[in-house]
Structure 1
């Protein structure tokens, strides 16, 4: 049952006073920010004159960026805690409006930087150590020069900046603020409204398939009732993506999404190809689960329930201790910093009315990371805590070791630390249990990570690719078209043992990443593959102790590197080359290994199945 925020003690809630003590302090910084922003146009036509003026300008830009992080995220975080918070919504829109105007007023910057010859810029950096922190981002401007327009065209495009975010805003309101949750009665006679969090708990703990079906139908009908509106929103996002890609001389939305981080297009297509070629273990797993659960028909809502009756609940305090213990192999410094990350005020733990669903870790360079959870006591929630703490550690280590200008790591490597932490947790929990049911549940948790983080995210990436191509080839987008793509993909990836429910096809309407950050989800899969390879190099006894120690140092160096290089290069330095297809094929090999272990444990517990 959902608690109201005032029923939860402060130790389990964010302390946003670390950002601002009140709205008055926020208003003061907003005024300061406006003042800084008003200085930027004064530099137009001057930054190419000499290095001293350019350095002044760069320092001012950084002041604006760092202050904007705080001023924007303070209302943003408050709104995530309560989507009906009118004050936070108004303030957030105010900042967005100010930034939109600033984008227009500063649209000349990149074109003017490009009037400075690259050789001159390099000499300025070499002669002025204060510019060294900006070497990589400045050189990126020159690499991407063909996609920068003239100053007048950049200004014209900047007028549309705020408008381009409207489809995502509409989706957020429809799927969070205005969504109507449906009530169900479970077989034990209890009644509940099926929110995202409630749904997650029912399908992962309720062993009655009819209850899981009711929860599934209740949740998906909350989205299906507005399917045509969701399809219309998504169509506008697809059209926006292609229009902005073309306006910047890209051939496709995918190229525009990948090129800023210098990711080759064939990394995306190789991921999909490799996964499609390696669906056999996924189909094997579904067939095994169907038989072990003794189900006449197997549905997607049966995918989260443990094969064995294992519904152990973990208090949040138990989860914290378990996760903390699991990271000891990464050394005392990592352990100490993760303990700091568990400080009161950094995490907002429990689901409350109108709180954003899911989980995330968000960093404020001059404050600290904030983690949002919707903790419900399941094993999955324990792993989610480990996952988000991985992101937080990545942010903390990057902030400690990199200047602001290159402290933010790319999305492409963002899921490496999070999935690495999950693997540490798994191994630690397996080592510390003699309960065969718990071992089976843990192996399934690991397999669930492969299915959910690798296969499902690649399926979603496949979906995005197909949907974008339809628009880019002049095709129509409707709810039926999107349903059809999803239906075909689930059949191709999961096989015929999965019964495809009509409502399951609407899953595209409830994946926020499709609407908020297109072409994001494939990076879960690439990061998972990278993490799996790194974990093997660090823990596999087939490697010598010295090799494993060097691999650990390389991994921690990756976490400390922020955005100081292209992500493919960062991963190569750590020992993973995603340009080679076998980096992805390795996931299927690990999947089959875990399936063999699962079958062995099931024989001990259940006999032949």
Structure 2
């Protein structure tokens, strides 16, 4: 079994654990040629303006030209972006990546005419063209979606104005990014053992999960979150800018609320978000029971949010990458031989950047390149958490593999609304696979905790966030002031509603909203983590319980979902797979699952002696 490299020098890490960029472009010269080609194709696309009324062949030509530009966008974007993320210190790569942004802005402005002009063709005429032109079949769904959204598309001048405003609309995001990363000064505190630690996000996260001294965790949380509190008025002004922008764009496109505007693109009924929040808020009992279980096992007189990351039990068991990879592959055997074979091929080398190196960005993600396939970033450190992160991101990668394999470019990109289904489903397969391999109550407890923490982090926390940002947007919709005090009160109120008296409230946590990048960068995004989690819970149950014929049918529906890319509205895709997110019982299933998992944890904990801590 290959050991984790001891070096952090990228060139010294074995090649099979590093990305191979050559399938995208052979070298930077080839990338430059791609940039020139993109520029030429944009100029050619502009010349198609005014032709769509000429008939189905003209519409087909425009869509095909649009596709070719889209395929190029993937390549010219990912080539510098992926390399930048392996060494964020390389200013040459960063400069090239900035050029991509300028090129994309040019295309946005140059293509602003396309949808408004498409919609000048009478809908009945477009249906006739689609029916009599087989070559337009791949474009049927996006074309009909454009007509569905017609009430919210402006004329050419309006669309051009909004396109021109797109860069200025990002100013608040960019200001937040600079304030929260470049300009922020994290404090240094002295711990109870005399050591000093600077509370960067990484150090702060590590301290909360590693320190057994509650007073140190308390001091760290107060200092780290308090850092955002020190400039909370500025964060509030930035967030007000985000909220006002969203409300402006909603009204500009004739939506009654910002939520309706955010959901319209994928035809998500607002009932989905409202049901999600309502069921989660009424189903907090298992969440609070888990907090009380942790408090009891940790032996704490009071339990705080900063106590939720420290392990109840510790294990020195490690999971080297090669073993984790084998376990993850074995765990998805219920999905069939073809899925497993594709999985093995993907992880065989060149597509997973496994280990940390100097200058490499933190975290993990999956990034697709149409015509090439997915690239998966890790910073693997041989922990249980890293193994589950790998299973999660590889789930995304396999979704990408199947979508690219079965869909033409125009419908290959799946929505965020279904994206987390594949990742969380693979995590659940891994959990059950590992539980079957051990009877050790401590290992079983830790595995069950992995699943419970996933529900807490991916479901409850994200619904809490979604609840907050919905209420925050409603402030501007009612013309109410968005002040630091208003946001602080709102966040503290939501925390109380979800955690109840299972935690002791700390005043400084009211500033948490200021340190959640999703609020500033991708409003109305986080609820989708929770809906995906609810969907994967339902799908996993269908694929693993009941008669074999029913399980096989559920697997077939699930693989069809992963292969469908974005060829239909995501709600309809999930309904075909057997999930209806408008139904309360679909969301309630996650609440019930947490309740069952906490019960299993309690049973394993009862077998352990306190000395096992």
With the length of structure 2 as denominator, give the TM-score of the two structures: 0.93
Q: Which range is displaced more, 400-409 or 295-304?
A: 295-304
Distance across 1 between alignment mates of 2:557 and 2:201:
38
Tell me the residue number matched to 1:133.
Answer: 138
Tell me by how many angstroms 1:355 deviates: 4.3
Tell me the residue number matched to 2:582.
Answer: 579
Match of 1:117 among 114, 117, 122: 122
Q: Which range is displaced more, 434-443 or 21-30?
A: 21-30
Tell me by how many angstroms 1:607 deviates: 8.1
Distance 1:530 1:491, change over 3 A: same
Tell me the residue number matched to 1:237.
Answer: 242
TM-align CA RMSD: 2.4
Task: Judge conservation of contact 1:182–1:194 (CA < 8 Å) in 2.
Answer: yes
Distance 1:511 1:496, change over 3 A: same
> Does residue 1:475 correspond to 2:475, yes or no?
no
> Does residue 1:600 correspond to 2:603, yes or no?
yes
Task: Judge conservation of contact 1:463–1:489 (CA < 8 Å) in 2.
Answer: yes
Q: Which range is displaced more, 483-492 or 434-443?
A: 483-492
Tell me the residue number matched to 1:37.
Answer: 42
> Does residue 1:158 correspond to 2:163, yes or no?
yes
SS in 1 for 2:382: coil
Tell me by how many angstroms 1:471 deviates: 1.7
Tell me by how many angstroms 1:335 deviates: 1.4
Distance 1:10 1:515, change over 3 A: farther
| CA displacement 1:93-149 (0-9 Å, x = unmatched) | 322222223222221111111111222222222222221111100000110110011
> Does residue 1:406 correspond to 2:425, yes or no?
no
Tell me by how many angstroms 1:214 deviates: 4.8
> Does residue 1:104 correspond to 2:109, yes or no?
yes
The 5 Å alignment of 1:106-255 reads 106-183=111-188, 193-217=198-222, 219-221=224-226, 223-255=228-260
Q: Which range is displaced more, 543-552 or 205-214?
A: 205-214
Distance across 2 between alignment mates of 1:203 and 1:12:
30
Distance across 2 between alignment mates of 1:190 and 1:319:
34
Distance across 2 between alignment mates of 1:36 and 1:158:
19
Task: Judge conservation of contact 2:289–2:502 (CA < 8 Å) in 1.
Answer: no
Distance across 1 between alignment mates of 2:474 and 2:90:
38
Tell me the residue number matched to 2:342.
Answer: 337
Distance across 2 between alignment mates of 1:348 and 1:166:
32
Tell me the residue number matched to 2:554.
Answer: 551
Tell me by how many angstroms 1:374 deviates: 3.3
The 5 Å alignment of 1:183-582 reads 183=188, 193-217=198-222, 219-221=224-226, 223-352=228-357, 355-540=360-545, 543-582=546-585
Distance across 2 between alignment mates of 1:193 and 1:4:
24
Tell me by how many angstroms 1:185 deviates: 5.7
Tell me by how many angstroms 1:411 deviates: 0.8
Tell me the residue number matched to 2:3.
Answer: none
The answer for unaligned runs of 5 or more in structure 1 is none
Task: Judge conservation of contact 2:273–2:527 (CA < 8 Å) in 1.
Answer: yes
Distance 1:117 1:52, change over 3 A: same
With the length of structure 1 as denominator, give the TM-score of the two structures: 0.94
> Does residue 1:48 correspond to 2:28, yes or no?
no
SS in 1 for 2:376: strand
Distance across 1 between alignment mates of 2:81 and 2:168:
18
Task: Judge conservation of contact 1:97–1:162 (CA < 8 Å) in 2.
Answer: no
SS in 2 for 1:605: coil
Tell me by how many angstroms 1:150 deviates: 1.0
Tell me by how many angstroms 1:567 deviates: 0.8
| CA displacement 1:340-366 (0-9 Å, x = unmatched) | 232333233344566444322121112
SS in 2 for 1:200: helix
Q: Which range is displaced more, 167-176 or 594-603?
A: 167-176
Distance 1:561 1:463, change over 3 A: same
Match of 2:97 among 87, 92, 97: 92
| CA displacement 1:438-482 (0-9 Å, x = unmatched) | 111111111111111111110010011011111222223233332
Distance across 2 between alignment mates of 1:214 and 1:346:
41
SS in 2 for 1:43: coil
Distance across 1 between alignment mates of 2:323 and 2:304:
32
Task: Judge conservation of contact 1:46–1:53 (CA < 8 Å) in 2.
Answer: yes
| CA displacement 1:295-314 (0-9 Å, x = unmatched) | 11212121122322335332
Distance 1:355 1:227, change over 3 A: farther
Distance 1:184 1:354, change over 3 A: farther
Tell me by how many angstroms 1:21 deviates: 3.3
The alignment covers a number of residue pairs equal to 607
SS in 2 for 1:389: helix
Distance across 1 between alignment mates of 2:191 and 2:79:
40
Q: Which range is displaced more, 53-62 or 274-283?
A: 53-62
Task: Judge conservation of contact 2:373–2:404 (CA < 8 Å) in 1.
Answer: no
Distance 1:301 1:374, change over 3 A: farther
Tell me by how many angstroms 1:4 deviates: 5.5
| CA displacement 1:525-583 (0-9 Å, x = unmatched) | 1111111011111112xx21101110111111111111111111111111111111111
Tell me the residue number matched to 1:69.
Answer: 74
Distance across 1 between alignment mates of 2:236 and 2:88:
23
| CA displacement 1:211-237 (0-9 Å, x = unmatched) | 434553454355444433333322221
Distance 1:374 1:500, change over 3 A: farther
Distance 1:249 1:356, change over 3 A: farther
Distance 1:565 1:306, change over 3 A: same
SS in 1 for 2:375: strand
Distance across 2 between alignment mates of 1:350 and 1:195:
21
Tell me by how many angstroms 1:586 deviates: 1.3
SS in 2 for 1:21: coil
Q: Which range is displaced more, 596-605 or 206-215?
A: 206-215
Q: Which range is displaced more, 372-381 or 320-329?
A: 372-381
> Does residue 1:80 correspond to 2:85, yes or no?
yes
The 5 Å alignment of 1:2-13 reads 3=8, 5=10, 8-13=13-18
> Does residue 1:588 correspond to 2:591, yes or no?
yes
SS in 1 for 2:531: helix
Tell me by how many angstroms 1:172 deviates: 3.1
Distance 1:436 1:2, change over 3 A: same
Task: Judge conservation of contact 1:2–1:353 (CA < 8 Å) in 2.
Answer: no
